[in-house]
């Protein structure tokens, strides 16, 4: 079983990495890219949990370890 | 129109950030998390391209700007 976790800066938070990329792209001629947001993506290999257990544990792992809840938000999907 | 781009360390490349998270999780009692890979996730807002143009431009942006092809690989999806 695998899990995919996305961690993104909250909409209300500035994203300087994303802005830098957007400016770089504009400078390279990609003016059609109006906005860039950069986040993190995790692939976790899981063993020994039922799908229901994984759901609960992933909620805790995402919230407590992978995300800074002051400035970031997360979502996850369990695969298989 | 939006695009989602995933950039991940190649399978053959060590991922020290992912390993650190896996070790941290093991120390917190999450031994069921066997492996962690960390990558980047980008959300791009696009304006002024057809879907076909976006497909070609995203290929170039992903390859030339968002990815270090020596150690990373990418995939993208166009939304809408």
Q: Residue-wise pLDDT tens for chain A (80 aa)?
A: 999 999 999 999 999 999 999 999 999 999 999 999 999 999 999 999 999 999 999 999 999 999 999 999 999 999 98
Furthest-apart CA pair in chain B: how many Å? 50
Radius of gyration of chain B (CA): 16
Which pTM value belongs to this model?
A: 0.94
% chain A with pLDDT above 90? 99
Report DSSP letters for B61-80, one per residue.
HIIIII--TTTEEEEEEEE-
Give the pLDDT score at B80.
Answer: 83
Assess A52–B contact: CB distance below 8 Å, yes or no. Answer: no
Contacts of A49 in chain B (CB under 8 A): 32
Assess A26–B contact: CB distance below 8 Å, yes or no. Answer: no
Per residue in A62-77, pLDDT tens? 999 999 999 999 999 9
Per residue in B28-48, pLDDT tens? 999 999 999 999 999 999 999
Residue B70, min C-alpha distance to chain A (Å): 19
According to CATH, the topology of domain B2-79 is Mth169; Chain: A , (3.30.1280)
| CB contacts < 8 A (A, B) | 88
């Amino acid at each position: 079983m695998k899990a995919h976790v996305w961690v993104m800066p909250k909409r209300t938070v500035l994203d300087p990495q994303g802005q830098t990329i957007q400016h770089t792209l504009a400078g390279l001629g990609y003016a059609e890219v109006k906005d860039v947001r950069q986040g993190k993506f995790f692939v976790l290999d899981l063993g020994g949990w039922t799908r229901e257990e994984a759901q609960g544990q992933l909620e805790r792992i995402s919230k407590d370890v992978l995300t800074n809840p002051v400035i970031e938000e997360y979502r996850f999907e369990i695969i298989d």
